[in-house]
Structures are given as C-alpha cells and as structure tokens.
Chains A and B, each alone.
Chain A
Amino acid sequence: MKTFGLTNAEILRHSPLPKSYSDYLGRKLFVFLLTMQGMGAFALITLTVMLQKRSVAREVMHPRIRQETTRSGVALLPMFIFVSLALGFLVIGQTVAALAKLGATSYLGTTMVIVIVRELGPLLAAMLVLARVGTAQVIELGTARALGEVEALEALGIDPVHYLIVPRVIGMSLGVFSLTVYLIIGSLASGYLWAFLEKVPLTPGDYFNQIVSALGWLDFVLLALKTMAFGFFIAIVTCYHGLAQPLRLDEVAQVAVRAVTQGVLLCVLVDAVFILLYQAT
C-alpha cells in the first residue's frame, strides 16, 4: 500500500483484461471505490492541514491564496462574460420568448431561478473552471511531483499539502462561487436583452420583480454552499491525481484526462445531493 492506497487501484488498472463482462465491471467498481477512498482521505488531510496550519507562514500563504484565487476566478472573468452573454441569448432569451407566446410569462421568475440560479449557472461555472484551471493544475502538480519538487519541499520542512494544496482549494472554492454569481447576473441580464429584441411584452421592472420573488434565502445559502463544494471537490480531485501518487513524466497527460472525467462525475454527484437538499427543504 503506497500513498493513499493508490497502488491497489494501479494494479487493477494495469492487470490484463478479465474474461467476462461481470469481472470487468467488478474490477471497475473496485478501482472506483479505491479511488474514492484515497480521495476521501486526501480531502480529510487537506481540511485538517487547513485548520491546523491556518496561522503558519502567513506571509507566504496569503499571497499564494491570492494568486490561486486570481487564477481560478479573476483571470477567467473575460471568458465568463462571454459565456454568460451566450447563455442569456441562447437559453434564457428563447425561454422568455416561448413563455410569452404561451402567455405564461408569470412563470418566468420561477423558471429562471430553477434553470439558471439553481442548476445551469453553478454546474456550467464548475465545468468551465475544471476544464480551464483543473486540467492545468493536474499537469502542473504532476510535473512538479515527477521532477522531485514535492520531495524538495519535504526536505525543507515545508508541508506539501499546506504549500501546494491549501491555496488551490481555497482559491478554487472562492473562484467557482464568484464566477457563478457573475455568470448568473450576466446571463439573466443578457436574456432579458434578447427578449427585449424579440419584442416580448415584459418590462424590465416586471422581469426583475418576478426573479426576486422567485428567489428565497435558501437559494442564496445553497448557491454559496454548492459552488464552494464544486470548487473544493474539483481542487481535491485535480490535486489528488497530480500530487498524491508518485508519477513519471509520461503518465501526467493520462492522469489529467482521468482527473477531468472524475471531476465531472463528482460535480454531478454533488449537484444531485443539492437537488435532494432543495427537495427536502
């Protein structure tokens, strides 16, 4: 058993193909469970380090956190402005126009809140951050690991989880949260613009009032929790694959693909958990 039990998963991954489909599915399930176990342990270690070392080396860590927040948030703003405009024009504008034709504009606020605020906004923001920053993160950490930078940190008495992972987790959680807020605001505004161009009989005041009345305090709380959870899990998956196992340089690209796939799956799972939470409340 090497770091976080990954060796067993690696052995299963590299063994010859089994003879039956049931064996194959069983193996896949084992690999999945072992990976989840390793990732869970890694997430707990990260949370522990985050709490225990919150006041250690502030002069080094605070700039690192700012740097990672910029990278996972501020630097992606231009792309998010474009996506929010596109989302508004393509989805919301058409929805508004369709509802107007049916004479159901009174459902507009509820529809917008469910589609954009609860579902599409957070998930789309998470996917974009995963694709743009998460992939780069796996490659960056994987290369650092393969070149012995992690051992160098340990030799210098610097906890690699504290120095490399904690800023990324905080930066990505804040980044996904802030970008989701911008994405929602941008797409709701551009959606109305589209509806206005289509001459939908809806004043800006009515549109705004409908959305506000459809929003409850729970939407704000769960939106914050959900987007932070997306950011946290994307950072954990990408950092886990990049850092928590010994890597050779030629394995980095393969690991990046695996991390993105698992990141998408994990975000969908987290989303499902929040849907249940919405329904329960």
Chain B
Amino acid sequence: MSEKPKGGVIEMTDVSVVALRDTTTLALEHVNWSVAPGEFWVIGGLQLTGKTDLLMTTAGLSLPASGGYRLFGYETRLFEEAELAMRLRLGFVFDGGNLFNHLTIAENVALPLRYHKNLTPHDAAPAVQEILELLDLLPLADITPANVAAGWRQRVALARALVLKPEVLVLDNPLRGLAGRHWEWWMDFLEQLRRGHEWFAAIPMTIVASTEDLRHWRAGERHFALLRDKQFVRVGTWNEVLASADPVVKELLAAPAGATV
C-alpha cells in the first residue's frame, strides 16, 4: 500500500477474471467498471457466467489474470498482510453463507471481531448481540448452522460480514432460494444500508450484489450490469433494464417456474 489512493471505491480497467472452477480459463474479459462510494450495483447473469468469479476478484480473493484493479484507490494484491486493514473495509457474503459449521451462530458472527480486535467472548458479546438483534437472529444465537434453514444461514453470513462495519458490501446471489418474507426483509435492509443505517454511523454503504433474477431489485436507486459471453455489459437504471431488448435481460426478468414476486 505504498501508492497514493485514487479513483472510486472499485476501479477495474480492462480486467480479465479467472474462472475459479477451472483456473486455466477466463470467466470474463475486458471488464471496465467503476463504482463510486454509496452506489448500489446489481450484476445480473445466468448460471456459470462468472458472477461469483467477478465478485471474488472484486473482494480481492482472486487476482485478475490481467488489467488493473484498484480497491479504495489501491492496487490489490492477494493475501498481503500489510493490506489487511484495507481489506476489512469490504464485507463479503457468499452464496449459501459458507458458515463455520463447528461454531454456533453467535460464534460465527463473533469470530472476525474477536480475531481482529483480540477480544474475549465476553468482550465481543455486546456488539454481537446488537448485530444479531438488528438482523432478527437473536433466537438462533446458540444453534449451529447445520440446524438452521438456508434463508437464515444467508442472513447469518450477512451479520458476519457486517460485524466489522465495512464500507463496501459484496453479496453473491443473496436472494437465491429465499422465501418471500426473507427477500422482502433483504430488500428493505439493504436499502437501509445504502441510505446509511444508524448502526453504521449513518454512512451510506456501497453495495454490489449478483443475481439470476432481476425482478427482485426493481425498487430503489440501483445501477444494473449484465454478464454474458465473457463480457461485462452496463445496462443502466431499472427503466433501462425494462427497455432493454437484450435476450439475456429478458430471461433474467422472466419468472422462473413456480416463482412469485
């Protein structure tokens, strides 16, 4: 982190993204993408189009094969200890949660806080209790993830990503398989975060989320982009999504069998 920061929160210039399922191939090429502080981006794409690969690169968990990527204005490097403080400014929610199965829900949420601030379970408890309460997870605090439904696991993963109060939140397909009441809660909570939630000192959070169903994301001030044919395509606002003649956009707007919004 020797260079001076410049540009927006996320700045990708001609980036090639490696496919994590086969690291010898590229998932995306020539990605040019800039995210300003406080923006809410929704990245749409069908299955296996590189959504997770793009988000993993965005979070600094995978390096671009080529091109320049700056996070908070700094060139990203993989597993650089010196950049830890910068990396903790970004929270990541995995598709499915990727929770630690040997820990309870409360311990899962407490782990990053305890590890980075060297806290005892007792010292970390107030902050953990607050975030669990905020996300309606308090009744599940002492249960292990295997005994919780998938919708709640996803919410625990959100709590774990938020406990260190990041400035940027990256969510990989957060609404996949969620029941109606869950995704309504998610939409409402993410909108609160974008506007600036009081738990985060009312500072608007920058949010990037991927999805296979654009219909959930119609409300609010959002920027939409599309992944197809190894390309990152900007679509624009919700009105531009609706006006788009792109067949992939139309497919992402069509209700999957049995789904209701």
Contacts and interface: CB of A to CB of B under 8 A. Distances in A.
Contact of A57 (B59, B100, B118, B123): B118
Contacts of A157: 84, 87-88, 112, 116
Nearest to A156: B112
* Main SS at interface, chain A: helix
A155 B23 contact: no
Contacts of B88: 157
Contact of B61 (A2, A58, A147, A151): A151
A155 B123 CA distance: 23
A156 B118 contact: no
Given A147-B98, A151-B98, A156 B79 contact: no
Interface string B83-106: 010011000101010111110000
B43 interface: no
Contacts of B102: 140
Interface residues of A, number: 21
A148 B94 contact: yes
Interface in A55-74: 56-60
A150 to B, nearest CB: 9
A59 B101 contact: no
A193 B100 CA distance: 49
Interface in A140-163: 140, 143-144, 147-149, 151-152, 154-159, 163
B143 to A, nearest CB: 17
B62 to A, nearest CB: 10
Contact of B114 (A60, A140, A149): A60
A144 B102 CA distance: 9
B196 to A, nearest CB: 24
Given A59-B120, A147-B101, A149-B100, A158 B115 contact: yes
B111 interface: yes
Given A148-B96, A148-B98, A157-B88, A58 B115 contact: no
B119 interface: yes
Interface string A149-187: 101101111110001000000000000000000000000
Nearest to B92: A155
A156 B23 CA distance: 23
Contacts of B123: 59
Contacts of A163: 115
B194 interface: no
B98 A59 contact: no
A151 B119 contact: no
Given A2-B23, A149-B100, A149-B101, A155 B94 contact: yes
Interface in B125-180: 160-161, 164
Nearest to A61: B115
Contacts of B99: 149, 152
A1 to B, nearest CB: 10
B153 to A, nearest CB: 11
A188 to B, nearest CB: 38
Nearest to B59: A155
Contacts of A143: 101
B111 A156 contact: yes
Contact of A154 (B79, B96, B111, B114): B79
Contacts of B111: 60, 156, 158
Nearest to A53: B81
Contact of A60 (B84, B96, B118): B118
Interface of B: 23, 56, 59, 61, 79, 84, 87-88, 92, 94, 96, 98-102, 111-112, 114-116, 118-120, 123, 160-161, 164
5 closest A-B pairs by CB:
A148-B98, A152-B98, A155-B92, A156-B112, A57-B115
17 contacts: A56-B118, A59-B118, A59-B119, A59-B123, A143-B101, A148-B94, A149-B99, A149-B101, A151-B61, A155-B98, A156-B115, A156-B160, A157-B87, A157-B112, A158-B112, A159-B79, A163-B115
Given A149-B100, A156-B160, 16 more contacts: A56-B118, A57-B114, A57-B115, A58-B118, A59-B119, A59-B123, A60-B111, A60-B115, A147-B101, A149-B101, A152-B99, A155-B59, A156-B115, A157-B84, A158-B111, A163-B115
